[in-house]
Amino acid sequence: MKSFIIDVTKDSPLEMMQIDTAISFKKYIEHLRERISTETTVRKKFFEMVLDSLLADPAFLNPIATPDIGHYKAQLDLVYGMLIPPIADEKSILWALSAPINPTIFFGTDAFYDLLTESSTGNLRCDLESVHQGSVRQKVMMIYSMIFEKFYDFPVAHYGDMLVSLKEGKSRLQKFYRINIDTRFIDVILKGPLPELDADTIRRQLQESTDISELLTLLPLSLFRFEGISVLTLTDVTQEHAVENLKSTILDRNNFDSKTYHKHITDTLKTLVESSDIEFGLTPVLKVNNKLIFNRNIILQSQVTNATTVADVSEELYLSVAESYFADPKVIFMRKIGEEDLKHPFVKTLKGYGVESYAIVPVYFDNKVTGVLELFSLREGAIDEKVLSRIDPALSLIAQIFQNNIIEFNSSIDNVIRDKFTSLQPAVQWKFRDAAWHYIRDKAEKSTGAAIESIGFKDVYPLYGAIDIRNSTNERNIALREDLRLQFSVLIDTFAVLKRKQGFGLADEMAFKCKKMLAWITDESTDNDEMKIREFFDNEVHPFLRHFRENHAGKQSRLPAYAGIDEAEDEEDEIAIAIDRYFGLTDEANGEAYQNRRALETSMQTINSSVNLYLDLFKTEIQQSYPTYFEKFRTDGIEYDIYIGQSIEPEKAFSNLYLKNIRLWQLTSMAAIARITHSLLPDMPKPLLTTQLIFINSGTIDISFRDDERRFDVEGAYNIRYQVIKKRIDKVHVRDTGERLTQPGKIALVYFNNKSAEEYVDYIRYLQEKNTLLDDLEFLDLEELQGVNGLKALRIGVNVDSEWQ
């Protein structure tokens, strides 16, 4: 044990507040007396002996000046012995005593002092820093929590834990420690009149306000004196922090370029394995037409890729070796690359590139290999079993990185197909031809580079429609919950078989975890954390089951994978059948544990396919009266924009008759879509309803082609308002009711101009006569939206059952 002063608060905001504090063991002695009065075991004698020793020096009962604390080394040793279990190893435990509030440390374990001080000077290490920016507020709120509890009888959340970081030894990697501050032995003494504060004021300061200055004014800390001791305990949470940091990096992917993104990942992994000598490469499995491909832009720092490129190994040979590896993926680990390893050509290439220690780990997402993680070092023996075990908590997150890479890559392929191979709509193709011709002409005539002219259409009438699947997000959550409930139930049964047949106690513990998760999932008031559940399956459940299944691989049952367990002929078969049944159940394509999600996706695809088909027919039909630009957007449902006007077809005179015709057509088509989606209900594995929305814009707008997005968009400040309204009306409510405007089986028409509404009322009356729409027309005022007010709406029911005329 060591006893010298470390002033952690020097030049800190807490020191500047000049809080009145004093070191005192009075409250600790009161605590010890209370323990003696309630203790009935042999420890009572020991407690009494300690108390007598502490009371032997009357000066120890009074407040002690910080410079004088070293005179009480014997008493401090006794306090340590009482607060720390006897079997604890002083050399490894990070424990200390400090003055109350201001952590001026005066006594602690050797390990604590060695960690926080420079070995040469004994001074506080300069690289010690708080991790969270709000740490000052946190410290102040910890002080106020004691005041609120004692003087206002207001229970407060625990503010005792903080996070600090230090750079570790030669590696200079960040190590993170959680500091727990035990304030039980601090007494708060009021020095003057106590200000009156009600519970609401305290609650607002604690929960809502981020500015502590108001609280410091309402309840100045100068009114109080703090006597006692703080007990500090440090816990190494580097691995936990590294995993959380990796999660944050994945979520913030769009904020980084590829180099910064990779650096964040590799720095985090270095922290996780506690070595700066190890580098990492991430290679996702990318395929085109089910064939492995090589894409250097997505591969992050792969040493195999770099070495083979330098060695001029052909891409075909590289892909051939990669295909062989992915056919039977497994961990390859070379602590030290030796002569025997050099027989493999790629290892020889790695050695020539300076690599002395190497490992490659296959990474799985949903039981499929999505990529490989490489670990390599220029130092022999840098990678060992301990390093591989430390990287294990990050594998599920790396799997998510690879899955995101794969999705992004596939999306980029689809975007190229959409952008480069989808033909322009005939209604506007002439404009692009003119622009292309002018570009070719100008390029030939000018010595400097020619610019492509902007493409736009002025004074066009927009028509907007949206078909939305009602409550699609809620339905997704419900489907996920039901599937996981089944998966966990079968998993619990599987672990029960392992426990019964093998007597393996860990199976009981795994079943207990599953039951807790099942209870959590079943509670509909909580949100399911898919990443946490997936980590549990990938890191704990599946490796556990695969181990037992592989042990029984030579004893396969003749029964099918879904046969009842009672039909097994012996316990070996029963274990294999139980595990096979679980993995069969979790097969994404056919397993019962994906049944609800498959049903939901099938129903959504059924609706969208039918709506898409009808809109394609509608698009073709409306072109016959007057050329229009028609564009669809896929959300959970389908949205579309239609533009019509003279500028789209200069060769044909435009009349408002064409506009009225297409408006009637749009209303009729929405009624038809409502009827179609209703008729699909009996054929859907998961019944889903749709809502239909039209926005009526009475005037014209200007649109232009956006080169960067390869689509038409509105132009000008006034026209952008139209786009803003479109995006905000899908979830608008009827004023003063809280009711959503859009409802299944109805068409909602949003408008500003009463004259436009009158036009649509005429169309509605016409379609009511044809038995297309019901006789339930509503005229509604809508709630104000951000930047938008004065919206109104018509809402009319669709006759989804009777025959139309």
Q: For 427-456, what is each residue's pLDDT tens digit? A: 777 777 677 766 766 766 665 666 777 788
Asked if residue 510 lies in contact with residue 544, where contact means CB atoms within 8 angstroms, the answer is: yes
Residue whose structure tokens are 């159940």: 585
In this structure, of 289-293, 525-529, 562-566, the range with the lowest mean pLDDT score is: 562-566
**pLDDT confidence tier of residue 426, bands split at 50, 70 and 90:** low
**pLDDT confidence tier of residue 26, bands split at 50, 70 and 90:** very high
With a cut of 90, say whether residue 792 has pLDDT above it. yes
166 three-class SS: strand
User: Sign (positive/negative) of CA torsion 245, 246, 250, 254?
Assistant: positive
E runs forming strands in 619-683: 629-634, 638-644
pLDDT in tens, 462-478: 999 999 999 888 888 88
What number is the average pLDDT over the span 40-45? 88
List b or e across 762-786, with b for residues whose CB sees 16 or more CB atoms inside 10 angstroms.
Answer: ebbeebbeeebbbeeeeebebeebe
pLDDT in tens, 217-232: 888 989 999 999 999 9
What number is the average pLDDT over the span 596-620? 91
Looking at every residue in the chain, the average pLDDT score rounds to 83
Q: What is the greatest pairwise CA distance in the chain?
A: 109
Half-sphere exposure of 139 (CA within 13 A, CB side): 21
Please give the full DSSP string across 483-548, using - where no structure is assigned: HHHHHHHHHHHHHHHHHHHH--HHHHHHHHHHHHHHHHHH-TTS---HHHHHHHIIIIIHHHHHHH
Half-sphere exposure of 448 (CA within 13 A, CB side): 1
Of 431, 749, 460, residue with least CA distance to 628: 460
What number is the average pLDDT over the span 626-649? 88
- Name the residue type at position 270: K
- Greater confidence (153 vs 680) lies with 680
CA angle 784, 712, 725 (to 5 degrees): 5
With a cut of 60, say whether residue 420 has pLDDT above it. no
What number is the average pLDDT over the span 241-264? 87
Residue whose structure tokens are 């993926």: 329
pLDDT of amino acid 558:
40
With a cut of 60, say whether residue 484 has pLDDT above it. yes
pTM: 0.50
Separation CA 244–CA 546 (nearest Å): 27
Separation CA 564–CA 584 (nearest Å): 13
**pLDDT confidence tier of residue 676, bands split at 50, 70 and 90:** very high
117 phi/psi in degrees, rounded to 5: -120, 155
Asked if residue 687 lies in contact with residue 681, where contact means CB atoms within 8 angstroms, the answer is: yes
CA distances to 271, 366, 604, 639 from 611, in Å: 52, 32, 11, 10
With a cut of 60, say whether residue 133 has pLDDT above it. no
List 2's β-bridge partners, or say none.
108
In this structure, of 146-160, 380-394, 561-575, 712-726, the range with the lowest mean pLDDT score is: 561-575
Separation CA 676–CA 686 (nearest Å): 16
Separation CA 526–CA 517 (nearest Å): 12
pLDDT of amino acid 157:
66
List b or e across 616-652, with b for residues whose CB sees 16 or more CB atoms inside 10 angstroms.
Answer: eebbeebeeebbbbbeeeeebbbbbbbbbbbbbbeee
- Greater confidence (532 vs 75) lies with 75
Separation CA 713–CA 42 (nearest Å): 83
**pLDDT confidence tier of residue 794, bands split at 50, 70 and 90:** very high
Of 9, 72, 82, residue with least CA distance to 39: 82
**pLDDT confidence tier of residue 799, bands split at 50, 70 and 90:** very high
Separation CA 318–CA 158 (nearest Å): 56
User: Both tokens of residue 205?
Assistant: 């300061």
In this structure, of 49-53, 248-252, 713-717, the range with the lowest mean pLDDT score is: 713-717
What number is the average pLDDT over the span 491-500? 88
Choose from 53-57, 293-297, 707-711, 763-767 the range with maximum mean pLDDT. Answer: 763-767
Asked if residue 302 lies in contact with residue 350, where contact means CB atoms within 8 angstroms, the answer is: no
290 three-class SS: coil
pLDDT of amino acid 315:
67
Asked if residue 295 lies in contact with residue 285, where contact means CB atoms within 8 angstroms, the answer is: no
57 three-class SS: coil
In this structure, of 412-421, 440-449, 612-621, the range with the lowest mean pLDDT score is: 412-421
Separation CA 755–CA 766 (nearest Å): 17
With a cut of 50, say whether residue 565 has pLDDT above it. no
Of 605, 607, 791, residue with least CA distance to 691: 607
Radius of gyration of the chain, Cα coordinates, nearest whole angstrom? 36
User: Both tokens of residue 213?
Assistant: 């200055």
Of 380, 402, 372, 131, residue with least CA distance to 271: 131
Return all residues near 78 (Cβ < 8 A) that are at least 6 apart: 50, 53, 54
What number is the average pLDDT over the span 741-747? 94
Please give the full DSSP string across 167-232, using - where no structure is assigned: EETTTTEEEEEEEEEE-TTEEEEE-SPPPP--HHHHHHHHHT---HHHHHHHS-GGGEEEEE-EEE
With a cut of 50, say whether residue 680 has pLDDT above it. yes
With a cut of 50, say whether residue 646 has pLDDT above it. yes
Separation CA 719–CA 703 (nearest Å): 8
In this structure, of 61-70, 119-128, 231-240, 604-613, the range with the lowest mean pLDDT score is: 119-128
